[in-house]
Amino acid sequence: MTTLIWIAVVLVLVAVYLSWTAGRLDRLHSRLDAARAALDAQLLRRASVAQELATAGVLDPASSIVLYQAAHAARQAEEEQREVAESELSQALRAVFAEDAQVDVVREAPGGEAALGELTEAVRRVPMARRFHNDAVRAARALRRHRKVRWFRLAGHAPFPMAFEMDDEPPAAFAARVG
């Protein structure tokens, strides 16, 4: 009889532990979803501000076209192409604002200081949001790699989390303002 009691106690403890692990995994997936939503919002904000600046008429025509096309492509990209499109927007921003003179031209235009400040903030927030997202991905992956999670299928049908890898280096002319 005592053997049955001990087996029942062990089974209850295992069930509680697995339930706790499943709850932890669920919280990590919720954190991952929130981090992805925040990253998407920051990427959209950066592309919108860049597109707005490109159509404001304060940049030279070539820079406006390059920036507008990259921002438009980033906003319209499908999920599979998103990382590439966002990296191309980062490269376009670095190309357009490669020199301090271009930043000064934008700053001197009417409303240019506000637009430049908004763009600088958007450019600064993207790497932070990406870092938070990738940290959540790392934590979820680490837990999902445990045998107990795989054997008992505690992750359910949730897709395996993928990091968001992109070029998010700010333009050199923003370095003093971003840092």
pLDDT single digits (tens) 82-93: 999 999 999 999
Mean pLDDT of the chain: 93
- The span from the CA of 25 to the CA of 149, in Å, is 9
Phi, psi (5° rounding) for residue 96?
-70, -40
User: 71-93 burial by CB neighbour count: b if 16+ within 10 A, else e?
Assistant: bbbbbebeeeeebebbbbbbebb
Residues of the chain above pLDDT 70, percent: 97
Residue 101 has pLDDT above 90, yes or no: no
Q: For residue 176, what pLDDT band results from cuts at 50, 70 and 90?
A: low
Give the other-Cβ count within 10 Å of 136's Cβ.
22
With a cut of 70, say whether residue 179 has pLDDT above it.
no
pLDDT tens track for 57-75: 889 999 999 999 999 999 9
Residue 156's pLDDT band (cuts 50, 70, 90): confident
**What pLDDT does 133 receive?**
98
Query: What stretch of H or E contains 94?
Result: helix 82-96
pLDDT level of residue 177 (50, 70, 90 thresholds)? low
pLDDT tens, position by position, 15-50: 999 999 999 999 999 999 999 999 999 999 999 999
Q: How many helices (H) and strands (E) are present in the chain, helices listed first? A: 7, 0
pTM higher than the cut 0.75: yes
Per-residue pLDDT band at 178 (split at 50, 70, 90): very low
pLDDT value, residue 102: 87
